[in-house]
């Protein structure tokens, strides 16, 4: 086996609220290889978003290590571009095109004509060329998320981090966006670490799924080698199986109360 692109080993994450010290994840291990579509799946409270933020460099692990290409992650950086759930992740004072250019120039990756060309390219890939000069407030939610994806991809990060990017969209748009993301992946085979709480979405998008249990988040199972075009019957069976795994825990918990 080749060396992993991203390696998370024994990571415990804790954060403080006003009254409590909360342990979000406890000794989580996983490895992401190049071109994986790696999904962190779990119910709310399993620390999947916190884990993603730690990979993003926004949060230091209390225990364990996260490394990208063998280098320890310390701060946020453009080699790990993040796509958030919130629609306000675009800079409202910049047009669609300027938003992409901003990321390229601010991170000193590219400038001038090269950046403009790269941005136009990325926007065309997500099908928004017609809206390149629109401001974010004129766009629908799905379009805003497309711009965020375009911005992330234009930066050509080692790994694209997506934090429930489609969760705030309506069901029809969400399905369309999932298809589009897969089509984009087909083109460039980028590596993506994707957080979701929807089992269906995980199976549809992922090539590997890491199942996390809540309070605190621990690895419950890892599902490998999910085919790109999984047969509907297999998907349904897998969904049921994952559902049972998550659901069983809840019954156990209920009995302990």
Partner 1 sequence: MSDSRPYPRILVSRIDGETHGIVEKPLTAIEYIFNLKWLRKLSILFILALVWELYARWLDNALLFPTFSETLLALFENAASGVLLVRAWASIQMLLAGYAIGIALAGILTFLAVSTRIGSDFLDTMTSIFNPLPAIALLPLAMTWFGLGLGSLIFVLVHSVLWTVALNTHSGFRAVSNTLRMVGRNCSLSGLRLVCMILIPAALPSILTGLKIGWAFAWRTLIAAELVFGVSSGRGGLGWFIYERKNLLDIPDVFAGLLTVIIVGLVVENLIFRKIEEKTVHRWGMQQ
Binding site for partner 1 (CB under 8 A): 56, 58, 75-78, 80-82, 84, 86, 88-89, 91-93, 102-103, 106-108, 135-138
Q: Are 184 and 176 in contact (CB under 8 A)?
A: no
Indicate the residue among 116 and 176 with the shorter CB distance to partner 1: 116
Pairing of strands 6-16, 21-32: antiparallel
- Say how far apart CA 86 and CA 168 lie, in whole Å: 7
Distances (CA, A) of 243 to 38, 52, 96, 106, 247: 18, 22, 39, 43, 6
Indicate the residue among 82 and 181 with the shorter CB distance to partner 1: 82
Packing angle of the helix pair 112-125, 141-154 (nearest 10 deg): 130
Q: How far is the CB of 47 from partner 1 (least distance, A)?
A: 17
Q: How far is the CB of 57 from partner 1 (least distance, A)?
A: 8
Indicate the residue among 92 and 227 with the shorter CB distance to partner 1: 92
Lateral strand order in the sheet of 63-68: 21-32, 6-16, 63-68, 71-72
- Classify 64 in phi/psi space as left (phi over 0), alpha (psi -120 to 50) or beta: left
Q: How far is the CB of 95 from partner 1 (least distance, A)?
A: 10
- Say how far apart CA 91 and CA 84 lie, in whole Å: 13
Distances (CA, A) of 51 to 36, 46, 97, 127, 216: 17, 9, 30, 31, 12
Indicate the residue among 5 and 110 with the shorter CB distance to partner 1: 110
Indicate the residue among 9 and 107 with the shorter CB distance to partner 1: 107
Indicate the residue among 102 and 194 with the shorter CB distance to partner 1: 102
The structure tokens 């950086």 sit at: 77
Q: How far is the CB of 86 from partner 1 (least distance, A)?
A: 5
Indicate the residue among 90 and 210 with the shorter CB distance to partner 1: 90
Q: How far is the CB of 107 from partner 1 (least distance, A)?
A: 4
Q: How far is the CB of 205 from partner 1 (least distance, A)?
A: 22
Q: How far is the CB of 66 from partner 1 (least distance, A)?
A: 16
């Amino acid at each position: 086996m080749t060396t992993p692109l991203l390696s998370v080993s024994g990571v415990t994450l804790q954060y403080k609220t006003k009254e409590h010290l909360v342990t979000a994840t406890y000794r989580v291990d996983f490895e992401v290889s190049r071109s994986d579509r790696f999904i962190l799946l779990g119910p709310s409270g399993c620390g999947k978003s916190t884990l993603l933020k730690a990979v993003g460099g926004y949060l230091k692990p209390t225990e364990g290590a996260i490394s990208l290409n063998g280098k320890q992650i310390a701060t946020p950086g453009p080699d790990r571009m993040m796509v958030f759930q919130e629609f306000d992740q675009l800079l409202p004072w910049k047009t669609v095109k300027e938003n992409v250019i901003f990321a390229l120039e601010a991170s000193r990756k590219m400038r001038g004509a090269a950046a403009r060309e790269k941005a136009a390219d990325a926007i065309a890939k997500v099908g928004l060329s017609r809206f390149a000069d629109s401001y974010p407030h004129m766009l629908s939610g799905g379009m805003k998320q497309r711009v965020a994806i375009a911005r992330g991809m234009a930066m050509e990060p080692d790994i694209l981090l997506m934090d429930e990017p489609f969760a705030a969209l309506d069901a029809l748009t969400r399905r369309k966006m999932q298809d589009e993301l897969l089509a984009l992946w087909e083109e460039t085979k980028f590596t993506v670490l994707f957080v979701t709480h929807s089992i269906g979405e995980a199976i549809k998008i992922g090539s590997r799924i890491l199942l996390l249990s809540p309070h605190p988040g621990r690895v419950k199972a890892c599902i490998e080698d999910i085919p790109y075009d999984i047969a509907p019957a297999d998907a349904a069976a897998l969904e049921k199986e994952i559902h049972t795994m998550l659901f069983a825990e809840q019954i156990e918990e209920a009995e302990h109360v």
